[in-house]
Amino acid sequence: MYFDREIDALNKPDRAMPAGKVKPREALAATFWLYGAGLAVSWFAGMGFLLLALTGTVLAVLYSLPPTRLKGTSLGTFAVVIGHHVILPWAGWYLSTRTLLFDLELSPSKQLP
C-alpha cells in the first residue's frame, strides 16, 4: 500500500514498492485509476450498487489515508468488518434483487395448527 511503504520496506521488503518494481507515484496513479474505473462500473450496475461502492471506497480511504488513518485502531477494525461482512454481501444482495432493502419476515404469517 502506498501509505505503508516505509513500514513495508522493513517488514515486507519483497512487496512491489519496497523491492523497487513499482514506484510510489505509479502505485498512487494506479490507485486513482482503479478506484475511478470501479466506481464507473458500479454506476452501470445501478445507483444502489454505486452507493455501496462509494461507501466502501470512503471506508478504504479512511482506513489508509492520513490524517484519519484508522488502521491499527478499533475503528479501523470496525471499518474492515463493515466493508467485508456488510457491504460486500449487501452488494451481492443488490445485484440479485435490485433492492437495497431486506424484506425478511421474522415471524410466521400463518398460525400453525
- Separation of alpha carbons 1 and 29, rounded Å: 12
pLDDT of residue 100: 83
Q: Does 108 map to a domain?
A: no
User: Total structural domains in the chain?
Assistant: 1
Helices and strands per DSSP (H, E), number in the chain: 5, 0
Asked if the structure places residue 7 within a domain, the reply is yes
Residue 32 has pLDDT above 90, yes or no: yes
Do the domain assignments include residue 90? Answer: yes
Cα distance from N-terminal residue to C-terminal residue, the chain: 60
Angle CA 52–55–59, to nearest 5: 140
Average pLDDT along the chain:
86
Counted residue by residue, the chain has a size of 113
Determine, yes or no, domain membership for 59: yes
Q: pTM for the full model?
A: 0.75
Q: How far apart are CA 54 and CA 59, in angstroms?
A: 9
pLDDT digit string (tens) for 58-75? 998 898 888 888 888 999
